[in-house]
Chains A and B, each alone.
Chain A
Amino acid sequence: MKAIKLDLDNYRKLLKEYLLTKDERALYQAEQFSKLSVQHNISPEEIIHVHIEALKELYPELPREINDSLNFLLEAMISYGLALQENHFLREKQLALESEIAVAANMQKTLLSTVKPCIKGLDIGAISVPANQMNGDYYHFVTDKDDTLGIALADVIGKGIPAALAMSMIKYSMDSFPENQREPSVILESLNRVVERNVDPSMFITMFYGLYNPEHETFSYASAGHEPGFYYHAAKGTFEEIKAKGLVLGATEHANYQQFVSHIRTGDCIILLTDGVTECRLGDRFVERDEFLQVIKDYIHLPAQDAVEGVYKYFERLQDFHLRDDFTLIIIRKEV
């Protein structure tokens, strides 16, 4: 409190100095004073009050109209002072909330962490970046003794904390399924029941599940309304959409998901993603599909992890480092 009082004396001095010299230095100090006042929660009406007092001291004959008009100004500033105080309070509250969310986000990271597996003959790259602190996208790799690789990729429509909570549920349901249950369509059907029973109907979850079998060089997959991925034909340098139809999880009590199988040739890639990737925005328009595929093509010659990171950095820059949606991209290349 003492420091503030001192500052008000200081104001008087500065004003006097300015009135006498019209010195820019005094104006610069007024600016510093202004910042300090905001920091110390000094309301504008208090500053105006000091201003009036200082003026009267310097000019004892101050015309009544000037004095009254300054009092009028003081009255008109009261609400600004209140808004300042409310702002202080809300900012403190926000900081507390933010640190709470940071703790939750960290916890989510630990809960949903997945190890990118080393599988002979496969080069795998994966990246998932949340738009805000909590991620509403989720991917998970499931390995088995027979060297098959399961890949789960899900996206909660919506962002933030509710989405993140729903994701934890998906992860734990998957963990509880019996180990021999590895068929993509069966997994989606089971998850559909879990979601239908436990999640608010206004919340939708899309999901893709794929299973790579190295012995047969096949990729089986099913989709619950998930953003379609792409198959990259390395020899021709072309992309083919991975088509799979299916209802989003939780829409009906019993959903059936069709399962598809593709043969994977050496050098080709499977590209899986969430709509945060394909719906990148450039100003107010979405990036066109062909533009997007061209970007993928520019990076696909790199090792898979470098490729997904390169694509992410490209789109991050394109959107001015401000993601609008969670971004998840997985590239799997068959090497031998």
Chain B
Amino acid sequence: MLETLFTGITGGQITEAMFRSIGRLLFGFIIASTLGLFLGYLIWRFKIVDETLGFLVVALQSIPSIVWLPLAIVWFGLGETAILFVVTIGATWTMTMNTTSGFKNVPTLYQRVAKTFGSSGFHLLRTVIIPASVPQIISGMRLAWAFSWRALMAGELLGAGGGLGHLLETGRSLGQMDLVISVMIIIAIIGTIIDNVVFTKLDRSIQKKWGLSS
């Protein structure tokens, strides 16, 4: 099995699938984060959006991402777009929710301080609202990536078009248990690296800078 893992990585089969998956993940994650930030802003800024979309997002957010796949297939056909859609959509709602609550919880005091210095509008958003929400935005991104990652694997497993999930399915159909396990190991490693290295570090540096932990 180690041999399969090794040749798979060097021979390019696993490596190629890996890059493909990570590319999709990045794409979905970046779109979801940007979209989530933007929607979160709209919900925070406009009461009417809060009362309509804000309410809807809470409901949408409770839908597991993969549930969107049938709909995505109907809309886009079983292919790249459908998978990217599924990867993006679930994470978007989580990101929106976290951004909204981050923005809404910015202490009035900070806003008042900024306003007495003459800040308003976009400047206030850029220099106070967003920085003050950074801890929550990061935890939103952490959740968003986890959502994307899980949705991606499920999507690739069911859909076509390469990637680690698809390789897993290939391994199963060929009866190659060593390939299946090798891919699982790779999946675990990628997940651990992103979660523990990237986000934990980011989180810790913020916590330290803000003095939230010692």
Q: Do A and B bind each other?
A: no
Q: Give B contacts to A, CB under 8 Å.
A: none
Q: Give A contacts to B, CB under 8 Å.
A: none
